[in-house]
């Protein structure tokens, strides 16, 4: 093999290596971009999770408050019903 042939072979190997390096670089850039997008999505999801947790805590507190109010209303209605029955019974007895 004379020098020009050896030089051509070396240049071909160099060109092949450069193509492989460029392809690897493009794959790496794509992977980095994907990772960046995933990290951004994860941050958004974590913010949503935190917001939803706060909303859930508020909803649970309102639910407990409504249950307490409901029990109080039921107790008062029961007392009012008993008072009305007592008045009706008194009126019927007087008749």
pLDDT digits (tens, 9 = 90+) for 46-94: 999 999 999 999 999 999 999 999 999 999 999 999 999 999 999 888 8
Report the distance separating Cα 80 and Cα 73, nearest Å.
Answer: 10
pLDDT of residue 95: 73
Report the distance separating Cα 23 and Cα 16, nearest Å.
Answer: 11
pLDDT of residue 3: 81
pLDDT of residue 63: 98
pLDDT of residue 1: 57
């Amino acid at each position: 093999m004379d020098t020009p042939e050896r030089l051509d072979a070396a240049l071909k190997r160099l060109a092949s290596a450069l193509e492989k390096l460029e392809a690897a670089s493009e794959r790496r850039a794509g992977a980095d971009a994907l990772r960046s997008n995933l990290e951004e999505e994860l941050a958004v999801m974590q913010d949503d999770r935190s917001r939803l947790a706060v909303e859930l805590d508020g909803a649970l507190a309102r639910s407990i408050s409504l249950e307490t109010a409901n029990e109080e209303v039921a107790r008062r209605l029961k007392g009012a019903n008993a008072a009305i029955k007592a008045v009706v019974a008194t009126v019927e007895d007087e008749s």
